[in-house]
Structure 1
Amino acid sequence: MPSFTIGDADFLLDGEPHRILSGAIHYFRVHPDDWADRIRKARLMGLNAVETYVAWNAHEPVRGEWDATGANDLARFLDLVAAEGMHAMVRPGPYICAEWHNGGLPVWLTGMDGVGLRRSEPQYLEAVSGFLRRVYEIVVPRQIDRGGPVILVQIENEYGAYGDDADYLEELVRLTREAGVVVPLTTVDQPQPDMLRNGSLPTLHRTGSFGSQAAERLATLREHQPTGPLMCSEFWDGWFDWWGGAHHTTSAADSARELDTLLAAGASVNIYMFHGGTNSGLTNGANDKGRYLPITTSYDYDSPLDEAGDPTEKYEAFREVIARYSPVPAEAPAARADRPAFTVPLASTPVSMTDAVALAVEGCDEPPTFDQLGRSSGLVRYTASLPAGGVLVVGEVRDRAWVAVDGVRVGILSRTRHDRAIAVPAGDTVELLVEEQGRVNYADRLGEPKGLIGGVTLDGVPLRGWAAQPIDLDRLAASALSADAESAHGPVAGPAVLRTVFALAEATDLFLDTAGWGTGFAFVNGFALGRYAATGPQRTLYVPRPVVRAGENTLVVVELEAVIEPAASFVPGALLGDTEE
């Protein structure tokens, strides 16, 4: 029977010393028809394992409605890892951070009255126990002792940066072991003494997360994990981007040098990320350390395998380093090839936001939050009667609001800019179209409500009588395909829904160029590519090959601001923005 254990100095595979050479691939950020390709390319770089988080909110967006099919088919993903002859590391959280919406926690959970997140609080633990039971039903039969690929399971995620509730960690361990997990259990924290001390237990194997100063950080880790193998289970080889910032890259040479230091020290490693993928749809998270910064749709991460699954300079540099310590396959993946480049006109449709209202409410003294409306993300249209012109003040906008009076736009309120006030003219009705741009994925802002928070006043007087209309973006895109459309010439003011048809000789992935567009969402053949924004840095949206087909394909664009030229251009490669010098 195969076995994987932790010895005095090493990981032990069937009793023999073994070094883990792993790469992170989040199955929920990659189209399932591309999983096998990405896993194979991990093996060709010389890796022997694949690591993934488990995104709870992807599997259970509605309480009690569990989904482990299609893009959420964790079992298939792990089976593909096994088919490639590789091992698997599973990190179910339940909190994952990962620059993912709400840190992976479902909005229905974080919005429960009195819930105590990431600690020994009964409501929270009850929900967590149900989640972990579901995950371990998939993981347990795929452990190495049963002939499967799973060799490690992580408890929580960088918990030392958040709390120190040992009873909570003990309960997670109990739930994990009672479910039948027998492989070693690990924790991960940044190599700072307090984090390493607070984020683990004596029965768990501590690992580190860092991307530089490897020798120094391994030494700190060894002080807190005196026996067993050293492991950096998040070797940061790149970084993520946020809207309005620069595109982050790291030197391939510098990253390769740090990887070499790690491996020369005998440490095991999980490269974060090997392949970043995409925050398709409305799945991106956000940062807020005094300024709200929503994460971009692309999660390319400047990783060895780029967003489209092509090897990068970093891939070759890492492969060369790994070859000094472990056999690397002679076969190498094909180099990047240009994708088709072409332009098609966009046509205007008569579809409006009110054509896709999910469940409207009226007569509210204060605008209801997204959460009260049962919406985790997307758009909500708020309207109220306007007694006069004046200064409109919102307690807080989460996260962006387009303000109109009698249908005429008068301005924007942005959380990123800390906007709260706007002058509005006299009219009958004021409208605020609010976009939730991504839920914060770490620390105390997990689960914060979205929408117009803290009430709205006009010249200091509370504005009452609000109606709220949640907008179903999928329904909006579908409506555009069945509606009449007219050719558009010159700029188009938003909000507007545009569409086009384009033909391909064969299925291929594409890069949709959003230059000249404002802010909005794009759909190809009904698949939600994600958000785009003129603020950058990201300029292209990645279209996965399995989404398109030979022959006719449809594109729908939901534009919230304005389109300068009503056309859709596809370009040969990703344009992710200017980098910081």
Structure 2
Amino acid sequence: MSSVEGLRATSSQFTLEGEPFRILGGSIHYFRVPRAYWKDRLLKMRACGLNTLSTYVPWNLHEPERGMFNFHEELDLKAYISLAAELGLWVVLRPGPYICAEWDLGGLPSWLLRDEGMQLRTTYPGFADAVNSYFDKLISVIKPLMFEQGGPIIAVQVENEYGSYSQDEDYMPFLKNSLESRGINELFLTSDNWEGLRYGGVEGALKTINLQRLSFGAIQSLADMQPEKSLMVMEYWSGWFDVWGEHHHIFRAEDMVAVVSEILQREVSINLYMFHGGTTFGFMNGAMDFGTYKPQVTSYDYDAPLSEDGDYTVKYHLLRDLFSQYHSEPLPEVPSVQERRAQQPIVIQQHLSLWDSLHLTELHRSHKAVNMENLPFNNDNGQSYGYTLYETTITCGGILNSKNNIRDRALVFVGKQSVGTLDYKTQELTLPDGKGDITLGLLVENCGRVNYGKVLDEQRKGLVGDILLNNCPLRDFTIYCLDMKKSFINRLSSGQWKPVHQQPSFPAFFQAKLCVDNPPRDTFMRLPGWCKGVVFVNGQNLGRHWSIGPQQFLYLPGPWLRIGENQIIVFEEQRADGKILFASNPDHGKTTDVYKLPFCTLL
């Protein structure tokens, strides 16, 4: 155990080990970067002149089912933090339980929503008990990595941006006590944007601020709240995230570096959010909802100093020049760039109708529709992600009305023939008449739970209430779980795949083989001519594709490929091309400069 004094904020300048210390930090989320690339990204961070890594911890990945914990392989938090220490980086840990991060439900597990009375981010017993159980496990993992134990963690954040939520005055003290009572003694921080700064603190924790522009005297406001305390911008937004159907956000390097330079001149510590964004693989993207629901894209490039695949940008080089002025020794050499390769186009070989895969899934029969989280799947933890198919029998056509009870988007089928889509904007469809009993199917996609704002308790997915046909509620459903976990993708091999010359019946899975005869390199998959769905490579879920953009690619990391044959499966909802293309560079689509957007849109 270290007898040396850890990080202190009791004067205008931080001290560490009793000496003045400036946090020059950057955020890299281990859960958005393939483990094989952790070292590469952290070395590039050191070479840019940063001395501190910050990372969130996503509860919903670490405890996917209640009481079932995963801190292994790609989620080996201990290995990630230990690697940072080995490479000479300090660590600011942001364990949540809520993290935002443009991540599904802000990192909270969806099984919490099985409780109809759940009040997230409060001291409601159902939430507090789950947090305590999670912290018991999490703290046992991270406690040996604390500074006082000789580890690199010099500060721990209490929750995240609670000032923008602020629904329970006992909540932040409860969380701080939960950490302290389990032996966490490092410097505690809170983190809020300018508007939430007054409401998000807790006694005994240093307030820090999140911003992109030096507006409204934000840093001076922070200083006035905490006289004689150290100042820190916990999230300096180096870019911004994207949502489906809008433009890719960029933040000009010169504009960004000018603000960073001024922050440093004011002797304020800084953490770049993000230094390297990475990728929101799988179904883990969140959504925003300030009156209009907007799901976020798979890429988390963020227009950060390191690109999605870890390449250097103009921002990186400008920041390196700037940060070098705050070091007495020369910075480490810049690591070489990872090679990228545009693989040759590959041709689809087989397809499997969604209907022909249903025998490989779990099913549940219910008189009334049941939302995803309350389905009796996954050891009674419900269904968290992906698609859910609701089927029932109807005897006539007419007007189908969703009553806005679809979360978030449903393909509607009559006798397995597509008749349209229902979502937040389109809530009514006319169904054709038919003879006798006809199967009505609603394939509902969870497009991503909202990760920020006051509506977290309302993020149940699937069918969350009655759907009406000619003003009568539908009843007697057969409900199929299509969460498309790796085990399900592997089971597809036993399905009755059809050759490519036979016309596919949508939705469907499409299979192709990618042959790699050299050491695998990063590449970018492109799907022109396709519409919407999900891509799996060797069972790994790369994320969602959608022709509306802005993202027109999926990042495929080299370490997830192998020499020889690689299996690619595309789940496609509506339209397929006969081939898959590859590129050596991403295509982010049309761009929008965030500096030209109204300031309120970035809060």
CA contact (8 A) 1:30 1:277 kept: yes
Q: Equivalent residue for 1:96? A: 99
In the TM superposition, residue 312 of structure 1 has moved relative to its aligned partner by: 1.0
Q: Confirm or deny that 1:502 pairs with 2:511.
A: no
Shift of 1:491: 8.0
Q: 2:423 corresponds to which letter in structure 1?
A: S
Of 133, 144, 147, 1:144 maps to: 147
Query: Residue 163 of structure 1 aligns to which amino acid in structure 2?
Result: S
Number of aligned positions between the proteins: 575
SS in 2 for 1:355: helix
SS in 2 for 1:33: helix
How big is the alpha-carbon RMSD for the aligned residues of Structure 1 and Structure 2? 1.8
Matched, 1:453 2:464: yes
Aligned-pair CA distance for 1:221: 1.2
**Matching of residues 44-123 of structure 1 within 5 Å:** 44-123=47-126
Of 483-492 and 228-237, more deviation after overlay is shown by 483-492
Question: Which deviates the most, 163-172 or 236-245?
Answer: 163-172
Q: 1:426 is matched with which residue?
A: 433
Given that 1:480 and 1:499 are in contact with CA atoms closer than 8 Å, whether structure 2 keeps it comes out as no
Residue deviations 1:56-86 (CA, integer Å, cap 9, x gap): 0000010000111111111001001001011
1:407 partner letter: K
Code of the aligned partner of 2:538: N
2:519 partner letter = E
Flag the 1:12–1:149 CA change in 2: closer, same or farther, 3 A. same
Show structure 2 runs of 5+ residues with no match.
376-381, 594-603
- Cα pair 1:10 1:229 within 8 Å, conserved: yes
Match status 1:170 vs 2:177: no
**Amino acid corresponding to residue 371 of structure 2 in structure 1:** T
* 2:407 alignment partner in structure 1: 398
Deviation at 1:340, TM superposition (A): 2.5
SS of corresponding position for 1:371 = helix
Change over 3 Å in CA distance of 1:421–1:26 after alignment to 2: same
DSSP 3-state at the match of 2:591: coil
Q: Equivalents in 2 of 1:334, 1:303: separation in Å?
A: 18
Q: 1:330 & 1:213 partners in 2: Cα distance?
A: 31
1:140 to 1:243, Cα distance in 2 relative to 1, 3 A: same
Q: Please list the CA deviations of residues 397-441 of structure 1 after superposition, one character each: whole Å capped at 9, or x if unmatched.
A: 2111111111111111123xx221101102312111111110111
Q: Cα 1:312–1:18, aligned 2, differ >3 Å: closer, same or farther?
A: same
Q: Is structure 2 residue 531 aligned with structure 1 residue 542? A: no
CA deviation after TM superposition for structure 1 residue 490, in Å: 10
Alignment counterpart, residue 583 of structure 2, candidates 567, 571, 574:
571
CA contact (8 A) 2:387 2:445 kept: yes
Pair 1:214–1:43, CA change in 2 (3 A):
farther
3-state SS, counterpart of residue 467 of structure 2: strand
| CA deviation profile, 1:133-163 (whole Å, cap 9, x unmatched) | 2222122211112221100000010000001
Residue 488 in structure 1 maps to residue 496 in structure 2: no
Match of 1:298 in 2: 299
**Alpha-carbon distance in 2 for matches of 1:358, 1:162:** 38
Q: Say whether the 8 Å CA contact 1:142–1:150 is kept in structure 2.
A: yes
- CA deviations on 1:76-109 (whole Å, 9 max, x unpaired) are 0100100101100101111111110111011111
Contact 2:535 2:541 in 1 (8 A): yes
Q: Confirm or deny: 8 A CA contact 2:324 2:331 kept in the other structure.
A: no
Q: Secondary structure of 2:223's partner?
A: helix
Q: CA deviation at 1:444?
A: 2.8
Of 408, 412, 415, which residue of structure 1 is paired with 2:417? 408
Judged with a 3 Å threshold, the aligned counterparts in structure 2 of structure 1 residues 486 and 112 are, in CA distance, closer, same or farther, namely: closer
Partner of 1:318: 319
Residue 442 of structure 1 aligns with which residue? 452
| Aligned-pair CA distance for 1:328 | 5.1
2:474 matches 1:463:
yes
- The Cα shift of 1:523 comes to 0.7
Number of the residue aligned with 2:369: 367
Distance 1:473 1:347 in 2: 21
The alignment partner of 1:239 has SS state of: coil
2:280 aligns to what SS in structure 1?
Answer: coil
For the structure 1 residues 114 and 2, does the alpha-carbon distance in structure 2 shift closer, same or farther, using more than 3 Å as the test?
Answer: same
Partner of 2:525: 512
Contact persistence 1:238–1:273 (CA under 8 A): yes
Contact 1:166 1:201 in 2 (8 A): no
Q: SS in structure 2 opposite 1:124? A: helix
Instruction: Tell me if the contact between 1:510 and 1:544 (Cα under 8 Å) persists in the aligned partners.
Output: yes
Trace 1:246-395 onto structure 2 (pairs within 5 A): 246-326=247-327, 327=329, 329-335=331-337, 337-356=339-358, 357-364=360-367, 366-373=368-375, 374-395=382-403
Q: Distance in 1 between matches of 2:366 and 2:275?
A: 51
Return the letter of the residue paired with 1:393.
Answer: N
Deviation at 1:574, TM superposition (A): 1.1
Distance 1:472 1:124, change over 3 A: closer
Residues of 1 paired with 2:135 and 2:231: CA distance?
Answer: 27
Structure 1 pair 484/382, CA: closer, same or farther in 2 (3 Å)?
closer
Distance, in Å, in 1 between the alignment partners of 2:4 and 2:342 is 47
Q: What CA distance in whole angstroms lies between the structure 2 residues aligned with 1:536 and 1:477?
A: 25
Separation of aligned partners in 2, 1:429 and 1:95? 41
Q: Is residue 525–residue 555 contact of structure 2 (8 Å, CA) maintained in 1?
A: yes
Distance 1:180 1:214 in 2: 38
Task: Give, as a single letter, the amino acid of the residue that structure 1 aligns with 2:394.
Answer: L
What letter corresponds to residue 344 of structure 2 in structure 1? F
Q: Secondary structure at the match of 1:110?
A: helix
Q: CA 1:73/1:347 → structure 2, altered by over 3 Å: closer, same or farther?
A: same
Amino acid at match of 1:425: P
AA aligned opposite 1:42: M
Aligned residues of 2:143 and 2:184 also touching (Cα < 8 A): yes
The percentage of aligned residue pairs carrying the same residue is 36
Correspondence for 2:163 among 160, 165, 180: 160
CA contact (8 A) 1:493 1:562 kept: no
* Partner secondary structure for residue 554 of structure 1: strand
Q: Is the 8 A contact 1:456 1:462 kept in 2?
A: yes
The 8 Å contact of residues 353 and 504 in structure 2, kept in 1 or not, is answered as no
> 235-244 vs 547-556, which deviates more?
547-556
Q: What's the counterpart of residue 230 of structure 2?
A: 229
**Structure 1 residue runs of 4+, over 6 Å off?**
none
Equivalent residue letter for 2:536: F
Check whether the contact 2:356–2:496 (CA below 8 A) recurs between aligned residues. Answer: no
Local SS of the residue matching 2:478 = strand
> 1:336 & 1:70 partners in 2: Cα distance?
22
By how many angstroms is 1:177 displaced? 1.1
Following the alignment from structure 2 to structure 1, what is the Cα–Cα distance between the partners of residues 19 and 222?
23
* TM-score of the pair, normalised by structure 1: 0.95
Q: Distance in 2 between matches of 1:164 and 1:17?
A: 37
For 2:106 and 2:564, the matched residues in 1 are separated by: 39
Residue 539 of structure 2 corresponds to residue 526 of structure 1: yes
Residues 515-569 of structure 1, C-alpha deviations (whole Å, 9 max, x = no match): 2111111111111101111111111111112211122211111111111x21011
2:564 aligned with 1:561: no
- SS at the partner of 1:129? helix
Cα deviation, residue 316, structure 1: 0.8
Letter aligned with residue 119 of structure 1:
T
Over 3 Å counting, the alpha-carbon distance change for 1:528 and 1:207 in structure 2 is same
SS at match of 2:384: coil
Q: Deviations over 1:151-180 (max 9, x none)?
A: 000001000000153322111111111111
Return the letter of the residue paired with 1:61. Answer: P
Point out the more displaced range, 46-55 or 446-455: 446-455
| Equivalent AA in structure 2 for residue 33 of structure 1 | A
1:363-397: CA deviation from partner (whole Å, max 9, x where unpaired):
42x32111121111111111111121111001222
Is the Cα contact below 8 Å between 2:526 and 2:581 reproduced in 1?
yes
CA contact (8 A) 2:59 2:107 kept: yes
